[in-house]
Structure 1
Amino acid sequence: MSTEPVPALEVQALTAGYDRSTVLDGVDLRLAPGGALGLLGRNGVGKSTLIMTLMGLVTPTSGRVLLDGRDTTGRRPDVIARAGVALVPQGRRIWAPLTVAEHLALAGRGHGRRWTVDSVLDLLPRLRERLAQPAGRLSGGEQQMLAVARALLTDPRLMLLDEPSDGLAPAIVDQIAGLLGTLRREGVAILLVEQDLHLAFTVCDEIAVMEKGRIVHRATTTRFRADRATAHRLLGVA
């Protein structure tokens, strides 16, 4: 009998798109519990569409999505969130007029959760200093921290992050990397869509590359970094 743990996420031949166009063309992906996978690729290859489909915001046309072995294909976003998936979307998408405290109160509704407002604020002390401040007046880095805090308060086992470094200074990106490392040690699996290779290499133990709606390459981070020819061919970087 196999003792291999059930994947936190398993994607099987997933196809999805918009209107009559196909963006995802048979995506296969596995992510172990507590693992971290960096999803790389040029613009327009389907990375964000994959994230949105996994979260239930885009309906797949075929294939399957399994979360901890349970089929969530085509389920509503609220059902998927209750199954243990949280999204940190590109651009943060915080509600500018609401205060930090109001964001956390809305996200933290519910009982018996491992992550509470207090534990999240202990992890992100800068937000504790900004509780009364409208989110629209936060810096870009503080808004990103708020987006992560909001996601954590849903008590996820899997966190989907879409370009969390977008528009942030290198020092703030390093803080994001440290935060994601802490979440991994707490057992949260991470699927990270990212253009910042430094962040992806720091956080993730595996790298997958998308091209034309498919996963075309996967390797450990160490092997991917050592294979400069493949990185250049797939990503156009040295």
Structure 2
Amino acid sequence: MFEIKQINVAYGESHVIHEVSLTVGANESVAIMGRNGMGKTTLLKSLIGLLPTLSGQILMDGQDLAGMPSYKRVKQGLAFVPQGRMVFPFLTVEQNILTGAEHSGHRTVPDYIYRFFPVLQEMKHRKGGNLSGGQQQMLAIARALISDPKVLILDEPTEGIQPSIIKELAQTLNLLRKERGFAIVVSEQVLSFALDLADRFLVIDRGRIVHAEARAELDQDRVRSFLTI
């Protein structure tokens, strides 16, 4: 189980995340929804250790990860796909994927990654910077998955991706989490993508969780009201 207990995060003197708590069960997918500037990226960066927390706990199976550097959090089972993907443009697809293998012991790309993302196998010798936005997102996800995570954290994964690819990406992630047995925490503004992927929805507004619903009871109009200016 992955738990966040009353974490607070600040940029300098600016307090951005206020007493946020949430629990993510095994194989569960949780969407964190909200407008730009409401704290989604800050929250996710604090979970993986790219930003320090002021206080609170980040628990993986009862072990507190707060205060650990990012690479140790990856070793404990977290994986992060950042906003904008951040692939290495001058490395090949295969080399990009293997940069994420430090803690998993993989020396070659596992077959299941190419099975779920066949385009990456077709382009494994192409440089990452020469891929389309959708292909780069698949590459960034593959690089995270090679660490064999318990929890995959995705920050705005639909940004800059063609609508035709978005639904396919949600379907692939659902199949992956079912087969590989990991949970997902995703920040997102595209409600249709979140509806295809998430079991539970949290809305963040000005650094606080202000609304939470399971997918089966979701009031889509209410969630949309938090996403519009």
TM-score range, shorter chain: over 0.9
> Which of 40, 47, 62 is 2:40 aligned to?
47
Residues 179-188 or 88-97, more deviating: 179-188
| CA–CA separation in structure 2 for the residues paired with 1:190 and 1:106 | 21
Instruction: Tell me whether 102-111 or 214-223 shows the greater mean CA deviation.
Output: 102-111
SS in structure 2 at match of 1:15 = strand
Please state how far the C-alpha of 1:116 moved relative to its aligned partner: 4.7
Instruction: Name the aligned partner's letter for residue 57 of structure 1.
Output: L
Letter in 2 for 1:196: V
1:52-105 deviation line (CA, Å, top 9, x unaligned): 000001110011110122111121000100000000110000010111121123
Matched to 1:200, the amino acid is A
- 2:164 corresponds to 1:198: no
| Percent identity of paired positions between Structure 1 and Structure 2 | 36
**Structure 1 residue ranges (4+ consecutive) displaced by more than 3 angstroms after TM superposition:** 109-113
1:231 aligns with one of 218, 223, 229: 223
Q: For residue 21 of structure 1, what is the amino acid of its counterpart? A: S
| Structure 2 counterpart of 1:209, from 203, 214, 220 | 203
Q: TM-score, length-normalised on structure 1?
A: 0.90
Could you tell me whether the CA contact under 8 Å between 2:203 and 2:223 is conserved in 1? Answer: no
Q: Is 2:70 the partner of 1:77?
A: yes
Letter in 1 for 2:15: T
Aligned residue identity for 1:211 = D
> Please, which moves more after superposition, 171-180 or 151-160?
171-180
Q: Which runs of 5+ in 1 are unaligned?
A: 1-6
Residues 1-238 of structure 1: pairs in structure 2 closer than 5 A: 7=1, 9-109=2-102, 116-186=109-179, 187-224=181-218, 226=219, 228=221, 230-236=222-228
Distance 1:61-1:129 versus aligned 2 partners, 3 A rule: same
CA RMSD of aligned residues (A): 1.7
**Do 2:104 and 2:147's aligned partners in 1 also have CA atoms closer than 8 Å?**
no
8 Å CA contact 1:108–1:117 kept in 2: the answer is no
Query: How far is the alpha carbon of 1:207 from its aligned partner?
Result: 0.3
**Aligned equivalents of 1:112, 1:232: Cα separation in 2:** 43
Aligned length: 227
After TM superposition, give the deviation of residue 112 of structure 1 in Å: 5.8
Show the counterpart of 1:3: none
Q: Distance in 1 between matches of 2:64 and 2:45?
A: 16
Distance in structure 2 (CA, Å) of the matches to 1:212 and 1:110: 35
Return 5+ residue gaps in structure 2 as ranges: none
